[in-house]
Amino acid sequence: MPKSNVQPTSEWRRKLHEVIYEADTPSGKLFDVILLIVIIFSVILVLLESVPALGSKYSEEFIFAEWIITIFFTIEYVLRIISINKPTKYIFSFYGIIDFLSTVPLYLTFLLPGGYNALLAVRSLRLLRVFRILKITRFIGEADKLSKAIKSSLPKILVFLFAVLVISIIMGTLMYLVEGAESGFVSIPVSIYWCIVTLTTVGFGDIAPVTPMGQFLATIIMIMGYGIIAVPTGIVSAEYTTGAKDQNSSPEKDPNYRHVNTQVCQNCHAKKHQDGASYCHECGYSL
């Protein structure tokens, strides 16, 4: 790929980008490990704070620790923005939005006191960064295969779910007619709810048929439930197997194929560059 006309950034920004966005260097791995530890500690802190006995007894300690974590995440967020040439690529990316939502909750307490706990839980999504540390690109590749298999089988699954819905409506209506309000089947929607719960083999037990005919219908529904579970599994498995066969002829089977690494373009924030690549595959910027 020809060299990009984009002017290179200053050396300190390049070094900062290498530490924050890449896990190929010792400093990058150390940064990700520290970040991961802080994330886990933050999530545990949120969980413990929700316990009434702990939240009331150590409220000041929790607030102090949360402020330290929030300041750390704020600094990290700002550094991520200033270390790339096109900040909007990061700001509006998946991780950029997650990082923003992980930073603002405590600041929102100035506007909405006491209403930030729900937003703090979103930090758990940042644990996905562990994949960059471990460099388990093989597993990410397998996840891509599974995602493609689900997308390919989606029309079949939707047809199957529609058939399950029809069965639930019919059987639920029959159970309403057979059992009635005396047995807890007070309406057709409630009966359909019971049918779906029984058909999926969950069986909450909050409603149960008492008449012989109702128990007979329930038996049929439960037996159907076992077969219904196997259908979508078989559909996805077939698509996954087909994708795996197609993969045998892909470039990845070539011994000269070069796997992707953790490098992120400092200019356009593109990812999935091949090992040893000198330029970004999207904008041609020097890596």
Who's near 108: CB < 8 A, 6+ residues apart?
115, 116, 119
In the chain, the N- to C-terminal Cα span, in Å, equals 12
CA distance 98 to 89: 14
**91 HSE (CA, 13 A, CB side):** 9
Query: How does pLDDT run across 5-38, given as a tens digit for each residue?
Result: 444 468 888 888 888 887 777 888 888 888 888 8
Going by the DSSP 8-state scheme, the letter that residue 201 receives in this structure is: T
Prediction pTM value: 0.56
Residue 215 CA from chain centroid, whole number:
40
Q: Which bin fits 8, alpha (ψ -120 to 50), beta or left (φ > 0)?
A: beta
CA distance 165 to 146: 26
Q: With H, G, I as helix, E, B as strand and everything else as coil, classify residue 17.
A: helix
**70 HSE (CA, 13 A, CB side):** 18
Which amino acid appears at position 151 of this protein? K
Query: How does pLDDT run across 56-72, given as a tens digit for each residue?
Result: 888 889 889 888 988 99
Query: How does pLDDT run across 167-192, given as a tens digit for each residue?
Result: 899 999 999 999 988 888 999 999 99
The residue assigned the tokens 């002829």 is 249
Joined tokens for residue 180: 């009635």
Which secondary-structure segment (H or E) carries 275? none
Facing residues of 274 across strands?
Answer: 260
Joined tokens for residue 210: 């008492």
Who's near 39: CB < 8 A, 6+ residues apart?
123, 124, 126, 127, 129
Task: Answer yes or no: is pLDDT of 109 > 80.
Answer: no
CA distance 218 to 121: 40
Task: Answer yes or no: is pLDDT of 141 > 70.
Answer: no
Joined tokens for residue 125: 């999504």
Mean per-residue pLDDT for 70-97?
A: 88
pLDDT at 4: 42
Facing residues of 279 across strands?
Answer: 286
Q: Using only C-alpha atoms, what is the Rg of the chain?
A: 27
Residue from 166, 177, 174, 137 nearest 260 by CA? 137
Residue 236 in contact with residue 156, Cβ under 8 Å? no
The residue assigned the tokens 């007894």 is 57
Query: How does pLDDT run across 208-262, given as a tens digit for each residue?
Result: 899 999 999 999 998 888 887 777 777 777 776 776 565 555 444 444 445 556 6
Task: Answer yes or no: is pLDDT of 75 > 90.
Answer: yes
Which amino acid appears at position 115 of this protein? G
